[in-house]
Structure 1
Amino acid sequence: MSTEDSVVLLTGAASGIGAATARAFADAGWTVYATDIESGFPDDIRERCRCLELDVTDDAQIAAVVDHIGSEAGRLDCLVNNAGYGVAGPVEDVSSDEVREQFDVLVHGPHRLVQAVLPEMREHGGRIITVSSVLGHTASPGLGAYSAGKAAVESLTDALRIEIAGADELHVSLVEPAWVETGFADGALGRLSEEDRTPAYDRTYDGLEDGWVLTGGPLATTPEAVAASVLAAATDDPPKARYPVGAFATFVRWTHWLPARLQDPIHRGFGRASAFLGRWLG
């Protein structure tokens, strides 16, 4: 896919993976519409991209942003669904309201945007790329709600890819990192309640707070590595359906083929062992 005069709409672009992706597209010569729920974009992104506020849970705001891009740029070649955040905690302790709000961003947000951009993309082709996670395939103790959201958006994206198969120059891809060096873990930890913790899950909380369940520790990759995969999904001819980011993400993605009697001890053991190492090394 040629990047000359190409236009991309990117959500969650003010920090982390989104900011790195905005820079990668700008470096490649794209016109980048960088959006986020708040307007606190880094200076270099403000200088190189066209920055807009966008809450992916707001239908009216999505329609306004897509209409604005159509009027100003005349086309939209790529949508990158990246906006998201993590709700951490054992399934029993996470409230239904927290799960519902997270699903509205992780699942309904991409769905709203797909519905908004596809009619225009159908006229000349385009790419729809969703930044998911290998946790959409392999859940982790303490991240059940987040894993469920990613599993849902994976299924939604797979269905869309199959439904538009054969449409001229319309392509759908998933980018699947494992852990990434961003503010994701800090945000998820900040939402963990100190109250109403079920004592039976003390080890799960240890894995979240002291271990590598949220951060990945030394196994985490960089936002730039994820951004490179997103750009590849936007430019490869043809693009792949899935782009696991890094060897460890590929390994984690395929562990879901193991029987539960083997998977479950691995996931339990990772949280406990990393909590021990985190305290020992820290």
Structure 2
Amino acid sequence: MDKKVILITGGSSGIGKSIGTFLTSKGNKVYGTTRNLNKHTDFDAFELLQLDVKSPESIQKAVSQIVSKEGKLDVLVNNAGVGITGPVEETPHEEILNVFDTNFHGPVHMMKAVLPQMRKQGGGLIINITSIAGYMGLPFRGYYSATKGALGLITEALRMETKDFGIKITNVAPGDFTTNIAAGRYHAPVAQGSAYEQVYQQSLDLMNQHVDAGGDPMMVARKVYKIIQKQKPKIHYPVGAFMQKISLFLKKILPGKVYEKLLLNHYKL
């Protein structure tokens, strides 16, 4: 594979760092991003740039810096994101807006920033990191599911709009992987006396167990590497444990109430 210039948002930890480290080991020039460079002064896996996906100005600055230095930008991996949990009814609206700003509007800002350069150079690849959770509305993770589902649909639309420019767009939907997402996730408080108090707490405990028992994020990195080498990437690439991937197939073939019952049993609701 020819050396690619690759930009990965949220590259300082978790899945983003795994992707960047693996792609660097394959001879690519990788730029990761973080909101605060001062917190990562000893980071040496690949080059980090300061970028906040909620700030179009910082995005444009970082993209211009890469293009000025490298003369091109081959691949954008939209990985930066935040988690959120809570009952739909009780989650503060400012937190709903924040998660959409980061998980949906942020990747859209990124794509708008790189598309002119990719069009100018006659091609490029955008990989949006969505989530298996984006294919279904998960209890007490409804807003997270909504942001990732929205990003998946934008991916489908943008593929068709840019098909004549040589730009390839796809999404990779991870299941549960062992990362620090739970530590940075916003949790709506378990309110004493709430109608959801007991069931929400049980769901929180179960979610954290799933993340702790998750797979190696290098699995996502290897999938991204394979996609970069493809001439015609597919639209969707789910990555995760067998049962997580098969759940997407089951949703396609099962009646809605039957699938809902499976989810209720899985989450012990």
TM-score, L = length of structure 2: 0.92
Matched, 1:228 2:225: no
Could you list the per-position Cα deviations for residues 225-267 of structure 1 after superposition, in whole angstroms to 9, with x for gaps in the alignment? 1111122222222222211113333212223222221122222
The alignment status of 1:47 with 2:44, answered yes or no, reads yes
Gap runs ≥5 in structure 1: 274-282
Report the Cα distance in structure 2 between the residues aligned to 1:215 and 1:12, rounded to whole angstroms: 24
- The list of structure 1 runs, each at least 4 consecutive aligned residues, that deviate by more than 4 angstroms after superposition, is none
5+ residue gaps in structure 2? none
| Map of 1:38 onto structure 2 | 36
1:179 and 2:176 aligned:
yes
Deviations 1:90-124 (A, max 9, x none): 11111111111100011111111111101111123
Q: For residues 126 and 55 of structure 1, do their structure 2 counterparts lie closer, same or farther at Cα, with a shift above 3 Å needed? A: same
Q: Structure 2: which amino acid aligns with 1:183?
A: N
Instruction: Indicate how the Cα distance of structure 1 residues 50 and 66 shifts in structure 2: closer, same or farther if over 3 A, else same.
Output: same
Shift of 1:217: 5.5
Alignment of 1:108 onto 2:102: no
Secondary structure, aligned partner of 2:100: helix
Tell me, in whole angstroms, the C-alpha distance in 1 between the residues paired with 2:177 and 2:45.
24
- Tell me the amino acid that sits aligned with residue 34 of structure 2: D
String of CA shifts for 1:186-245, please: whole Å, max 9, x gaps: 322x6332446622452132121x21x344267622111111112222222222221111
Q: Which amino acid in 2 is paired with 1:3?
A: D
After superposition, residues 105-254 of structure 1 pair within 5 angstroms as 105-122=102-119, 123-168=121-166, 170-188=167-185, 191-195=187-191, 198-208=194-204, 210-211=205-206, 213-216=207-210, 220-246=214-240, 247-254=242-249
Question: 2:265 is matched with which residue: 253, 263, 269?
Answer: 269
CA–CA distance in 2 between the matches of 1:52 and 1:260? 44
Distance (Å, rounded) in 2 between the aligned partners of 1:263 and 1:149: 21
CA distance in 2, matches of 1:16, 1:220: 12
Cα-to-partner distance string for 1:160-197 (whole Å, 9 max, x where unaligned): 011112332x1001001111111112322x63324466
CA contact (8 A) 1:178 1:248 kept: no
What fraction of aligned residue pairs are identical, expressed as a percent? 32
Q: Look up the match of 2:77.
A: 80
Partner Cα separation in structure 2 for residue 53 and residue 215 of structure 1: 32
Distance, in Å, in 1 between the alignment partners of 2:103 and 2:211 is 24
